[in-house]
A and B are shown apart, each in its own frame.
Chain A
Amino acid sequence: MAPISLRKLNKTYGALTVVHDIDLEIADKEFIILVGPSGCGKSTTLRMIAGLEEISGGELVIGGDLVNDVPSKDRDIAMVFQNYALYPHMTVYKNMAFGLMLRKAAREEIDRKVTEAARILDIEHLLNRKPKALSGGQRQRVALGRAMVRNPEVFLLDEPLSNLDAKLRGTMRAEIAKLHKRLNATFIYVTHDQIEAMTMADRIVVMKDGHIQQVDTPQILYDHPVNMFVAGFIGAPQMNMLTTTITRTEQGFAARFAGQDLVLPRHLDPRLIAPYEGREVVLGLRPEQFYERAPADIAAENLMEIETLVELTEPMGSEVHLGLTWSGTAITAKLSARCKAREGERLALAVDMSGVHLFDPETQRSLFAPEPVRREMAA
């Protein structure tokens, strides 16, 4: 059992604080992903958990034990590095066996574990090669194998896929997710790629400037981002942010943008919107909320007609991304590949208002996020 608690964890370099009082509870066997832009402190946090970075303040508890001053090797963790960090002068077998040899494991046990890991990762035929004779994907597997043979309670993965090409990354994503189920261990994974985070994680920790922004399941992060940063970070292409004014209309509250009243859906709590009447709010619309022809399952009352000008078309095959201007504001829409709009043409679109987000422009927080949403994972 290895639940991990980060309590008011922080990291400073002289006067510079890179991780600010982070609180995080990670359940046993959870797959948790730390995500955020470069310099947000996600790797530093992981390295503190690994014991590679000294903890400047706060407590790190693994499996009930305070491990702030416990050396890496005694924390029952294994780590996969971004550049794999395989020992160049050792064969694949030795790379994987080395940790066990240092722990004076029996030769038969080492052999059994290495062979087993190699079989799972499909690298049995590579055991006698040196790392330089392997491709990127193979090195990645060896790095995973080196972590697996140790049979640790916690796997730490620091951007393990960022050096692979797009196709291989997709394959390895699925394999790592499978591996997590099979190994029954806690995975803590760092990435700046929100697709990796969305597809693999039980829960995602979104970080910015050394602070945790939101911790939740991928779907909740997507549906209910607590602030503009999370809203912009999760989802691709990015959410469109429009500065609007809240007005009261016959149908209820509306967000006025460029003289048009975009009626807000009824399920949004009017008590939380009322204080903003007559004030500016930021309206968040995901590119997926735009339609050329709205599907029948969206209630007519939630659909708004808008007029746009097509500036750019990016065909993706299955869909098309349009760069549009809507009353002088640039927005992005994701439409079905059937859309034949050309650059320079006018295009009428329907907006599905049922999924809108509203943010306070000063605090940047969602009007509907009471306190940072926390949901504990059922272990």
Chain B
Amino acid sequence: MARKPLRLFGHRVHLQTVIAYLLAIAITIVMLLPFAWMLSASLKLDRDVFAFPIEWIPSAPRWQNYVDIWTRIPLALFIYNTTKLTVIVTLLQLFTSSFAAYAFAKLRFAYREVLFLAYIATIAMPWQVYMVPQFLEMRALGLNNTHLALICLQAFTAFGVFLMRQFYMSIPDELCEAARIDGMNEYQIWFRIMLPLSKPALSTLTIFTFVSTWNDFLGPLIYLTKTELKTIQIGIRMFITQYSTEYGLIMAASIVSLIPVLIVFLALQRFFVEGIASSGLKG
């Protein structure tokens, strides 16, 4: 027997819907609370940051924190470095992933499945296992303390290839075949047919890559020791000194570093939910 719907603000709703919404709201609050705390702390003096009970809205917001972060450390340079690394790595990953994925999804060659599985298996290997040998290798190549080292390491991603390949598999082979008969070679098919159709997958990969590269801590920590090369994530550590930690400034810098990630995410998130483009096919 179906349960009787409740009446809420003049709308008929089921109890399950109410519970689901309440649960979703509760989880959202739990997820957002740390951000709220960070925002609140970024407007406080260090000594007030951990005051209890928490003063969520500071009675005397200290806007000076947002001025100090630019002068106490070379934050602008760090943002420039991070932006440079993130943009280059993201573009390279989009290129290499979609290129390799096209071959794995649409071309027939010997040992295709085995090669793909072997490549995908590397996802299961934690970076911590091989980061030291990798570092030694990079140092031997003379790339220690350069951005190029990080770019080389992060330009290829098994996850990206996997993501793009799954998407390409959902594009019918007939499109490629029609293109071949039309006179395109494989590079043209990739560039003129596959890339324009894979905007949703490319956006998803952009979000993943941008966020992970922007927030990467361990990579820059290992490879970049010179201040002028540092990224924002390790640059913020300069607020931690031997004798004190300036939490107010750390939180303010963190808020600033969050903004580009938010912009990228909000700009591309609508593609997350967009379906595959198969509208030229039977419907």
A interface residues with partner B (beta carbon < 8 Å): 50-52, 71-73, 77-79, 81-89, 95, 98-99, 102-103, 130-132, 136, 139, 146, 163
Contact = CB atoms under 8 A, between A and B. Distances in A.
A163 B282 CA distance: 7
Contacts of A103: 183
A89 B283 contact: no
A257 to B, nearest CB: 46
Given A85-B172, A85-B175, A73 B281 contact: no
B181 A83 contact: no
B277 A89 contact: yes
A25 to B, nearest CB: 24
B281 A86 contact: yes
Contacts of A132: 279-280, 283
A287 to B, nearest CB: 33
Interface residues of B, number: 22
B181 A84 contact: no
Contacts of B183: 73, 99, 102-103
Secondary structure at the B interface, as helix, strand, loop or mixed, is: helix
B73 interface: no
A81 B181 CA distance: 11
B182 A85 contact: no
Interface in B231-283: 277-283
Given A81-B174, A85-B172, A72 B180 contact: yes
8 contacts: A83-B172, A85-B280, A86-B280, A88-B280, A95-B280, A102-B188, A131-B279, A131-B280
Interface string B169-201: 000101101111111100010000100110000
Nearest to B196: A89
Q: Which of A52, A85, A89, A163 has the most CB of B within 10 A?
A: A85
A139 B177 contact: no
A87 B193 contact: yes
In this complex, the member of B175, B182, B197, B281 whose beta carbon has the largest number of chain A beta carbons within 10 angstroms is B182
Given A73-B183, A88-B197, 12 more contacts: A72-B180, A72-B181, A81-B177, A84-B280, A85-B172, A85-B175, A85-B281, A87-B193, A87-B280, A89-B197, A132-B283, A139-B282
A50 B181 contact: yes
Contact of A78 (B181, B197, B278): B181
B178 A79 contact: yes
A275 B282 CA distance: 54
B281 A84 contact: yes
Contact of B178 (A51, A85, A136): A85
Contact of A130 (B177, B182, B193, B279): B279
Contact of B182 (A50, A82, A83, A102): A102
Nearest to A133: B279
A82 B196 CA distance: 23
B280 A102 contact: no
B180 A87 contact: no
Interface string B86-104: 0000000000000000000
B177 A52 contact: yes
Most buried by A among B175, B180, B181, B278: B181
A158 to B, nearest CB: 9
Nearest to B278: A88
Contact of B280 (A50, A52, A139): A139
A95 B279 CA distance: 13
Nearest to B283: A136
A102 B181 CA distance: 11
A193 to B, nearest CB: 16
Contacts of A130: 279-280
Contact of B175 (A51, A87, A99, A139): A87
A87 B178 CA distance: 9
Contacts of B182: 73, 98-99, 102, 146
Contacts of B172: 83, 85
Nearest to A164: B282
Contacts of B283: 132, 136, 139
A82 B188 CA distance: 23
